[in-house]
Structure 1
Amino acid sequence: MPKTSAVPETKLSFIKESLFKVLFENANDSIKKMLTTQYRMHPQIMGAINQFYQQKLNCGIQEADTKRAHNLAGRIIQENNHILWVKTPIGQGFEEEKQGTSRLNVKEIDAIESLCEQMEIAWRPKVADGEPPKEIGIITFYAAQLNAIKDRIEGERFPALSIRTGTVDIFQGMERPVIIVSTVCNNVRGDIGFAKEPERVNVAFSRAQELLIVVGCHDLFTQQTGTVGKMYQEVSKTVRHCGGFVDVSSVLN
């Protein structure tokens, strides 16, 4: 299978300005209505993306803790965790690398691999009892990172997991019980690249039903200026409220 190439500018434009958004904004007010009840995700995950819907979303899932239970509790992931942020430091060996016009972060892949190993251990008994493999989505903003994840996270190593990888545009319209988002950017320039676009962040963070795990440099993203910084600070506030911060050292050890 050929490697995924860089995302064409036409696709990036679609993520930034979808056809639905264009049609909605140009429609007559008399036929517009925002649907405010969602049935996809656990309320903890909804808390991180509600900012994109003027805080008007509410969860229509009855007994969400049961119906959106991930059953992946282990050393890092706890039963009551439905949103986690695995925090990496700025620099200290966690810097991004350039690969052509794309970006790569090997340390984040190390952390994702470790998380998959733990989820494999947690879900394996379920498969032995007749449950299907757990569906996991791994999303990133960069093609170079995607290719490196595909090379490392091989399906045969995780028979209890059904892993699908992709860039944000590939996952638009999809959902998975578990989503891991690799943010990639880690630099002293304060540059977060594609991850500063609210539409892309909303797509990435809203695919998960039971468990959302963000892997990346918390300080770099939350210290952005203006609306971008506020966007990640809102996510951070939700993660903190839910007790979901995890230091990367505990994942890699």
Structure 2
Amino acid sequence: MPPLYSEPHKKALARKLGLSSSDDIDELIESDFSRAFSSHYGSQIGAKLLVQYRMAPAIGTMVSQCFYQGELENGGRIIPDIYQDLPEGLSASVTWLDTSLLGKKAHHQNGSGSSIYNEAEADAIVELLQQIDEKSELVGSLFEQVKDGEAAIGVICMYAEQKRCLRQKVKKAGLSEALLALLKIDTVDSYQGKENRIIILSISRSDLKQSPGFLRQPNRINVGLSRAMDRLVIVGDKRVWQGKNIGLPFGQVIKYMENHSADSEYAFVNVTTTKLKKVS
């Protein structure tokens, strides 16, 4: 992933360098590795690893099509047979928990600095965790799949303020010690190179302007989605990533899932004020 620059920082850099727009600076602040790999020298000596062994096929194929032009192939990996009696939010390999039916309640709130948080998404995630907690056999099976001290369920937040919000809500949710021992909540930047059996990704961004912020860039989104081994749950407002933003990474993910909606591996579940409801 490239370094993360806030919009005010980017605007200041653009002014300093005499650029007309802060968007023009994106190419200049990309990661050094990316710049070196795409250089003339990199094209001569660089090599791509084109087989992945982490993600279940449905997750891996979606990531490949949305971020790697279909180049990334799935290697053989045995998925443990523990995903039988599941909450609705985990019934498919990839599930989008859509908060759009909540209307304005789905919008994010401003936190400290330039960070944001989203109460609706945090509540939906806590509800899903409570549903998982009720499945004692699943919780026990997840324990058997991880080494001591590792997490089986990772909640990845695209914004640091959302991590703070979620951790506070989880403390008050009355979850069992068994589930808490399996749970990790952190930001996407802390997750590069890591993996969990179940990943829940909180997008957070939602407003009337449908402003994507830094989520127009694919790198961090790719990292967030590709940390999942067996199950991937994306929580966010679909409205933001349709229409004018359909060409952005999350828009492409929605498009891919919709195009493969006949496949039971992909599902959309509506978030309401009272419960999660699968889209028929």
Instruction: Indicate if the aligned counterparts of 1:87 and 1:217 stay in contact, CA closer than 8 A.
Output: yes
Aligned to 2:100: 89
Question: Aligned runs of 1:62-77 on 2, under 5 Å?
Answer: 62=77, 64=78, 67=79, 69=81, 71=83, 73-77=85-89
Task: Map residues 144-183 of structure 1 onto 2, 5 A cutoff.
Answer: 144-154=161-171, 157-161=175-179, 162-183=182-203
Alignment partners' CA distance in 2, 1:129 and 1:149: 22
**Residue aligned with 2:162, SS:** helix
Q: Does 1:56 align with 2:71?
A: yes
Q: Indicate if the aligned counterparts of 1:72 and 1:123 stay in contact, CA closer than 8 A.
A: no
Q: Displacement of 1:54 after TM fit? A: 1.4
Structure 1 residue 59: deviation in Å?
Answer: 1.0
**TM-score by structure 2 length?**
0.74
Structure 1 residue 130: Cα displacement: 7.1
Q: 2:244 aligned to 224, 228, 237, which one?
A: 224
What is the one-letter code of the residue matched to 2:96?
A: W
Q: Does 1:104 align with 2:125?
A: no
CA displacement, residues 24-65 of structure 1 (integer Å, 9 cap, x when unaligned): 223343322222211000111113211211111211125x5x
Give the match's secondary structure for 2:269.
Answer: strand
Q: Which residue of 1 aligns with 2:144?
A: 131
Q: Where does residue 22 of structure 2 map in the other structure?
A: none
C-alpha spacing 1:174/1:78, structure 2 compared with 1 (3 Å): closer
Corresponding residue of 1:4: none
SS of residue matched to 1:215: strand
Structure 1 counterpart of 2:153, which letter?
I
Query: Residues 136-167 of structure 1: CA distance to partner in whole angstroms, max 9, x if unpaired?
Result: 11111111111011111239723333111111
Q: Distance in 2 between matches of 1:151 and 1:23?
A: 41
- 1:83–1:239 Cα contact (<8 Å) kept: no
CA spacing shift, 1:225–1:184, aligned 2, 3 Å: closer
Match of 2:208, SS?
A: coil
Aligned residues with identical type, % of pairs:
26
Aligned alpha-carbon RMSD (Å): 3.0
Aligned residue number for residue 237 of structure 1: 258
Which protein has greater RCO, CA pairs closer than 8 Å, 6+ apart?
1
Instruction: Quote how far apart the aligned CAs of 1:135 are.
Output: 1.0
Q: How does 1:193-208 map to 2 (within 5 A)?
A: 193-208=213-228
Residue equivalent to 2:13: none
Contact residue 179 and residue 208 of structure 1 kept, 8 A: yes
Structure 1 gaps, min length 5: 1-6
Tell me if 1:41 matches 2:55.
yes
Distance of aligned partners of 1:22 and 1:109 in 2 relative to their CA distance in 1, 3 Å threshold = same
Q: Sort the Cα spacing of 1:23 and 1:73 in 2 relative to 1 into closer, same or farther, 3 A.
A: farther
- Rounded Cα–Cα distance in structure 2 between residues aligned with 1:129 and 1:141: 25
